[in-house]
Amino acid sequence: MSRDGSATNASKWTYAIAGTLQRMLEYAGYTETSVVTQLNFFSKYVAPILGPFIDEHSDGAQWQSFMTDSHTPIELSWSWSASAKLPQVRYSVDPIPNVFTKKNNASNIEATREFLRKSAPSIPGLKTDLYDYMLRKLCIDSHNAANIPRSQQFLGFDLKNHEVALKAYFLPQRRVLQSGLSTLDLTKSTMKQITFFDSELENAMKVMLDYLSLDSTVHLETEIIAIDCAEARKSRIKIYFRTRNTSLSSVLDVMTLGGRLPALSPENERSLRELWISVLNLRSDEQKLRSVSHRTAGILYYMEFRLDTHFPKPKLYIPVRHYGINDYRIAHGLSQFLEKRGKGFANGTTYLQGVQRL
The confidence score (pLDDT) of residue 122 equals 96
Mean pLDDT by 10-residue block, N- to C-terminus, for the chain (358 residues)? 68 95 97 97 96 72 76 93 94 84 64 92 94 92 56 94 95 87 89 73 87 71 93 90 90 93 94 95 85 86 87 92 92 96 93 94
* Pairing between β-strand 237-243 and β-strand 220-228 as defined by DSSP bridges: antiparallel
Sign of the CA dihedral 226, 232, 233, 235?
Answer: negative
* Pairing between β-strand 299-305 and β-strand 237-243 as defined by DSSP bridges: antiparallel
Name beta bridge partners: 320: none
- Is residue 60 within 8 Å of 20, Cβ to Cβ? no
- Nearest Cα neighbor of 290 from 279, 280, 277 is 280
- Nearest Cα neighbor of 66 from 5, 105, 108, 102 is 108
- Is residue 344 within 8 Å of 351, Cβ to Cβ? yes
The confidence score (pLDDT) of residue 1 equals 45
